[in-house]
Amino acid sequence: MKRTSTADLLRPENQALVESGLNLIQQGLSIFNADMELVLWNRRFIDMFELPEEIVYHGAPFREINLFLAKRGEYGPGDPEELTRVRVERARAFQPHYFERTRPNGRMISVEGHPLAQGGWVTVYSDITETRRQEGILKARSDLLSDRLLQHSGKLAETNRQLAAANRALQETKNALEASEARMRTITSAMPAHIAYLDRSYVYRFTNNRFRDVMGLDRDALIGKPVTDFFPPNIFARVKPAIDRALAGRTAVAEYEIEGSDGEVRSIRSTFTPEFDEDENVPGTFVLSIDRTEEKAATELLVRTKRMETTAQLTSGLAHDFSNILTIVLVNLARIGKADIDDTRRQELIRSTERAARRGTRIIDNLMTFLFRQRLDAKSTNVSAILRELVRLFRASTSDSIEVVLDVPDRKIEACLDEGAFQDAVLNILFNARDAVESAHGGGTITIDLEVLDAADRHIQVRVRDTGPGFSDEALRHGHEPFFTTKPQGKGSGLGLSMVRNFADRSGGKLLIGNGSEGGAEVRLLVPVDGFEATPVEENGPAASMPHVPPADGVLVLVVDDDPEMRTLLRDHVAELGYSVMEAGSGEEAKRLVDQVHDIRMVISDIVMPGKMNGLELAGALRAAHPALPILLVSGLPPADPAVKAAKDTFPVLRKPFTRKAFANFVAGLRQEDSSNVT
């Protein structure tokens, strides 16, 4: 069987394969030859030191790269030429070494170098900032340990690191005896992936030392033994078709999950690349296996987050749009059925109804690709298990500068709730905490805890605390309202806490927001342990019996709605009741008209409108300036919506879709109120 040498791997036809493999490494890697020229590197090496592409190329002098870094301050103060000269002289008599240093940007790196038997050297650069930060946290929290024990632990840790470096140096010395494979083994040992070679009998003929790191299985001495000795039968059945395709001359990929010796399930991707001999036969296949567990979790969380954001944006306008459509259809049908309407007007109403129906069809088409829960599906749910899984996914979306702490009791905690809606609510709270911590300090701590409150009505409480700036006074007052956000334009929809509040209300629970005693925000989500009952649907219209209503007598009514068709429908409806009508397409325009036209005796406005002033804000401004002016608000939002709840505290609210009779009853009620105020 033909053996693959380093020279073979670096041939043009194999260069892309080698570079692709090196780019999977999380560490930076560079290889210089005996002439101190750059012969191999990976993308992480360029990114870590922010090197311009023009100085990183095959044959690039070691001195040129080091001079660029010295001028940029990478090696501290001093003359860049002198700093570079020292490093070049040291490299000429290169010895195996390991050291750590802090870069100008504050990141800590370790540098580990090994000479190559044929001349030159290979260097691996690792970002150890997070490791050192965790060690610092451990030391800070170890108040009960004596100073001697801390010092001894530090010495042991340093000794272990030096011993690990020494072991790697010994391994490289041993590999140097096999000159034809020295560089190959150096590269593969530094890669965070399992690299192997299988012959046509599925027997390992080569492997690096990453099998246990990637697969999570305690296996030794793979070389000379078949794959079936190390993988469970179900896993081998998954990868065998891919191996067979590679042995048939085609590159193949297999993805599978495997349970490690520690009990954790890992997601693995193995790529099988055939080796061709001089006669174009395939004696075996190269294997590259990487652990995709964190990548898969991050992708899953990203997809879920995007689905949540898109669904929230789509459904937030859905109720409003469909309420408008149904109102137009119902009222137009009622008008078409009247005997005294002329044919021209009837045709106009028919066309208006058709346009509304087509608009509804377009909305349905857009909605079909999304999962939308019309009602909460409550069932017994293991809340503690859900939180553990959510936090695992959430950690994958945070940077290394954010610490996520989970405090969940060891016992199983169950509650009767909608699992999907609960997960969405908790993730919204976590995302807000992450954004707050990142925007304020670039990093910090997010703490999630779970407990059962044994009051008269037992609730579970999920509490999320962060070390961010906390809620402002304005956010404490309006944070749970739709579209309210303190984030920059385009960075948030303002629907996160509103959605959480909606879930809490519909579940019979509570959403409480505040600031912690030591700073930072604190959000508490309370949900009944024993479930909830559905909120009854409200009926439109006031009481059936109406008092005596004075005649319209051409009283001037202002109709306000941003939707032209809805505004026309309201205008015609008001006119049919005997009133004179004016129209406004926005809250700002309506405010100007009321201030300028003193004959306006009633205002009918939609709540949801774009611009600087929505319907509720318009009603508040008019009530402050004209306390006796009757105001009717119209909305297609659900009864539990915070905007509708706030409106009902002060104004009558007519929900869409409504019938002509309900509309007439509301207007009559307002007219009676106006008559009472006048008398």
Look up the CATH number of the domain holding residue 199.
3.30.450.20
3-state secondary structure 142-196: CCCCCHHHHHHHHHHHHHHHHHHHHHHHHHHHHHHCCHHHHHHHHHHHHCCCEEE
- Do 497 and 562 fall within a single domain? no
CA atoms within 13 A on the CB side of 145: 13
Look up the domain containing 263 and give its range: 193-291
Q: Is residue 389 part of a domain?
A: yes
Longest CA span, the chain: 109
Kindly report, residue by residue over 7-48, the tens digit of the pLDDT: 554 555 666 677 777 787 788 999 998 888 999 899 888 988
Q: Which H helix or E strand runs over 669?
A: helix 660-678
Query: DSSP state, 564?
Result: H
Q: pLDDT class for 181, splitting at 50, 70, 90?
A: low
H-state helical runs in 248-382: 293-336, 343-367
Contact 403, 363 (CB under 8 A): no
Return the half-sphere exposure (C-beta side, CA atoms, 13 A cut-off) of residue 372: 16
Same domain, 435 and 322: no
Report the pLDDT value the prediction gives residue 596, as an integer from 0 to 100: 93
Q: Is residue 657 reached through a cis peptide bond, with omega within 30 degrees of 0 on the bond before it?
A: yes
Asked if 367 and 318 count as a contact pair (C-beta separation under 8 A), the reply is yes
Same domain, 397 and 483: yes
Residue 464 has pLDDT above 90, yes or no: yes
DSSP characters for 111-131? EEEEE-TTS-EEEEEEE-HHH
How crowded is the C-beta side of 492, counted as CA atoms within 13 Å?
A: 19
User: With the C-alpha atoms ordered 177, 182, 186, 189, is the resulting torsion angle positive or negative?
Assistant: negative
What is the per-residue pLDDT across 87-132, written as a single tens digit (0 to 9) for each? 888 888 777 888 888 888 888 998 888 888 778 888 999 988 888 8
Clarify whether residues 283 and 336 are in a common domain: no
Give the pLDDT band (50/70/90) at residue 196: confident
**Same domain for 160 and 13:** yes
Q: Tokens in use for 485? A: 């956000």
> Distance (Å, rounded) from C-alpha 466 to C-alpha 444?
7
- Which positions ≥6 away from 334 have C-beta within 8 Å? 659, 660
Closest CA to 66 of 41, 48, 86: 86
Q: Tell whether the model's pLDDT for residue 591 goes beyond 60.
A: yes
Same domain membership, residue 176 and residue 33: yes
The verdict on 41 and 176 lying in the same domain is: yes
Rounded Cα gap, residues 186 and 116, in angstroms: 9
First to last CA, the chain: 109
Q: What is the mean pLDDT of the chain?
A: 79
- 421 shares a domain with 316: no
Lowest-pLDDT choice from 205-214, 514-523, 545-554: 545-554
What's the rounded Cα separation, in Å, for the pair 516 and 406?
A: 17
Domain boundary among 291, 325, 357: 291
Decide: 327 and 319 in contact? Cβ < 8 Å.
no
Determine which helix (DSSP H) or strand (DSSP E) holds 479, and give its type and residue range: none
Neighbours of 283 (CB within 10 A): 16
Q: What is the mean pLDDT of residues 641-670?
A: 85
Listed in sequence order, the residues at least 6 apart from 170 whose beta carbon sits closer than 8 Å to its beta carbon are: none
Residues 6+ apart with CB under 8 A from 233: none
Residue 537 covered by a domain: no
Q: Which residues pair with 256 in a beta bridge?
A: 268
Q: What integer is the mean pLDDT of 411-415? A: 87
pTM, full prediction? 0.31
On the CB side of 295, CA atoms within 13 Å amount to 8
- The residue ranking higher by pLDDT, 318 or 510, is 510
- CB atoms < 10 A from the CB of 349, how many? 21
**Residue 302 within a domain:** no
Both 363 and 395 in one domain: the answer is no
- Is the domain of 117 the same as that of 38? yes
Asked whether residue 69 is domain-assigned, the answer is yes
Residue 188 lies in a domain: no
Query: 422 and 386 in contact (C-beta within 8 Å)?
Result: yes
In a domain? residue 397: yes
- Residue 183: what pLDDT? 63
How far apart CA 181 and CA 165 sit, in angstroms, is: 21
Specify whether the CB–CB gap between 324 and 565 falls below 8 A. Answer: yes
Look-up: residue for tokens 């008398």? 679
Query: How many structural domains are present in the chain?
Result: 5
Residues 278 and 322 in one domain: no
What's the rounded Cα separation, in Å, for the pair 301 and 294?
11
Same domain, 411 and 390: yes
Angle at which helix 383-395 crosses helix 293-336, to 10 degrees, equals: 110
Count of Cβ atoms closer than 10 Å to residue 635 Cβ: 23
Please tell me the total number of residues recorded for the chain in this structure. 679
- Spatial contact of 668 and 639, defined as CB atoms under 8 Å apart: no
